[in-house]
Amino acid sequence: MSGGVDSSVAAALLKRAGFSATGVYMKLNNFSSLVEKRARKVAKILKIPFYVFNFEKEFKKKIVNCFLKEYKAGRTPNPCVVCNKEIKFGLLLGKTLRLNADFVATGHYARKRETNDKQQETRYRLLKGKDIDKDQSYFLWQLSQNQLSRILFPVGNHTKEEVRKLAKKFRLPVFDAPESQEICFISGNIADFLKKYLKEKPGNIVVKEDKSSSSPFAAARVDKQGKILGRHRGLWFYTIGQRKGIGLSGGPYFVLDKNIKQNVLIVTKNEKDLLKKELMVKNVNWILGKPPKFPIKIKVKIRYRHEPAWATLYRLNSKVYRLRFDGPQRAITAGQSVVFYSGQELLGGGIICYNK
């Protein structure tokens, strides 16, 4: 229970369905006391036990430090994906099972379907939530069959509007609670957060003039024709596709690529340069536990709010895949999650990496 409307209604629905529910709040940082109080209040209204699990140390090590490490390496990570794997359905699931719980339930807008394969073995399929605008399956692509067998998504078959109405019906004070922020450990903007932990490392800003590159990350090196336009503060303060905050006159300019070895930020005036048709994928996970036959035609999302696009996935070896889109996609970014769908079903996903 996070103190928000989704997990609160999830707890209420479980109790109404006859489950013996227990509320658990994960303490992950120092500025979470208000939402903890809200979660505790909801548990009291629902007359269910309530516990606080302190995962601050583990959260800092596995999520925050990993987030900073990825940015320092020039990539743009998605900490919510890692948190679901390592904390919610890693630490929390493991601890609750050791306490003899049967399931862990969350307020995610996603659905689970139990099926049998040809060998009559039970398989758990992960589906998009009913509310397409709130669907959170994108963040769950790293889940395993073992984990899914012990997870429930009570609000997955409801829209956000229905969930708020249910909160009113259950007389929960969180019915109008604001939406949670995207990155829970950052209270301001990402740049200000990074400044606290990563020192500035100035380097040149170069405009990319050579259009002959076929790489999905258009500039793997500084081209001889590249013109130095100014200085950047540190590559970790910029992300692919960024327009504001570059500090150049005569624009607009867009961040096109980062040359980590030479500490160079590559920009372009032509927004079309951000359109690429291919990317490479690593750390792939398949929800059903085994890969499909390749090549495979699938719908793909390269970021949470990205409109799913048709693409063909090719397996190059056991660790690396190549994804080719039917049409060009804007600002493909290393470190982000790329997630695969077949209709409503989430097949799996991986991490976007550079094409080397």
Q: Which residues are catalytic?
A: 83, 184
Residue with tokens 């992960």: 126
User: How many Å from the N-terminal Cα to the C-terminal Cα in the chain?
Assistant: 43
Residue 205 contacts by C-beta under 8 Å, 6 or more apart in sequence? 228, 229, 230, 231, 232, 246, 248, 264, 265, 266, 267
SS3 labels along 126-183: EEECCCCCCCCHHHHCCCCHHHHCCEECCCCCCCHHHHHHHHHHCCCCCCCCCCCCCC
Q: Assess contact for 347 and 340: CB atoms under 8 A.
A: yes
Q: Which residue has the tokens 């970021």?
A: 303
Backbone angles phi, psi at 103, to 5 degrees: -145, 160
Strand partners for 323: 279, 313
Q: Give me the helices (H) in the chain, please.
A: 5-16, 33-46, 56-59, 65-72, 79-83, 93-98, 145-148, 160-169, 190-197
